[in-house]
C-alpha cells in the first residue's frame, strides 16, 4: 500500500491554492454581477412590448452589425440604419430600396410590414431572410410582430 505523507509545507501550499481558486471565483462573480442577461428568448414581463426596451434590444444583438452606415448592408446599397438613435425613424418613415412599394413598417399590420416579412419567413418577398446566416427566435419574432400590431409606437 502506497501512502503519501504530507509535510506542513504541502498543507500550506494546498491552502494557498484553495485561497487563490476561491479568490478567482469571487472576482469572477463580482465582475459579472449586474451584467445583462441575454434577452433573445425572454418576452416582456409586463405584457407590453416597448420599442426601446424590447425591439431595439433585438436589433442591437442581431442586426446592427450589418445595418449601420459602415455595415455590410450599407456597402451593398441597403441604407437601413438600425442603431438606436436612427432605427425608429428608419423603419417608420422608410421603405425597401429593393421595392419602394414595401414599407418597412405598417403600424397595426405586421403582415403588410416588410420588416416582419424579412424576419418571419424563410423566403421573403424580396431578398434574403434576416438576419443572414441565422434566424430570430420565435420569441424575438413575436416581439417584433406584437410591436407592429400594437401600432409601432416609439415607447
Cβ-proximal residues to 51 (8 Å cutoff; 6+ apart), any chain: 88, 147, 152, 153, 154, 155
* pLDDT in the model for residue 105: 98
* pLDDT in the model for residue 45: 59
Angle at 93 between CA 39 and CA 56, to 5 degrees: 10
* pLDDT in the model for residue 33: 35
Instruction: Decide: pTM greater than 0.85.
Output: no
Local mean pLDDT, 10-residue blocks, the chain (155 residues): 58 52 38 38 70 98 96 94 97 94 97 96 90 93 97 96
* pLDDT in the model for residue 123: 87
Amino acid at each position: 500500500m502506497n501512502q503519501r505523507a504530507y509535510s506542513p509545507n504541502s498543507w500550506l501550499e494546498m491552502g494557498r491554492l484553495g485561497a487563490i481558486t476561491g479568490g478567482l471565483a469571487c472576482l469572477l462573480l463580482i465582475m459579472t454581477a449586474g451584467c445583462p442577461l441575454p434577452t433573445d428568448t425572454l418576452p416582456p414581463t409586463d405584457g407590453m412590448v416597448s420599442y426601446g426596451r424590447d425591439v431595439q434590444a433585438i436589433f442591437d444583438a442581431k442586426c446592427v452589425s450589418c445595418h449601420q452606415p459602415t455595415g455590410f448592408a450599407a456597402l451593398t446599397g441597403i441604407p437601413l440604419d438600425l442603431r438606436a438613435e436612427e432605427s425608429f425613424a428608419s423603419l417608420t418613415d422608410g421603405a425597401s430600396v429593393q421595392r419602394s412599394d414595401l414599407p418597412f413598417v405598417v403600424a397595426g399590420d405586421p403582415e403588410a410590414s416588410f420588416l416582419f416579412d424579412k424576419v418571419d419567413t424563410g423566403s421573403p418577398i424580396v431578398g434574403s431572410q434576416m438576419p443572414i446566416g441565422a434566424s430570430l427566435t420565435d420569441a424575438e419574432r413575436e416581439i417584433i410582430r406584437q410591436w407592429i400590431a400594437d401600432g409601432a409606437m416609439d415607447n
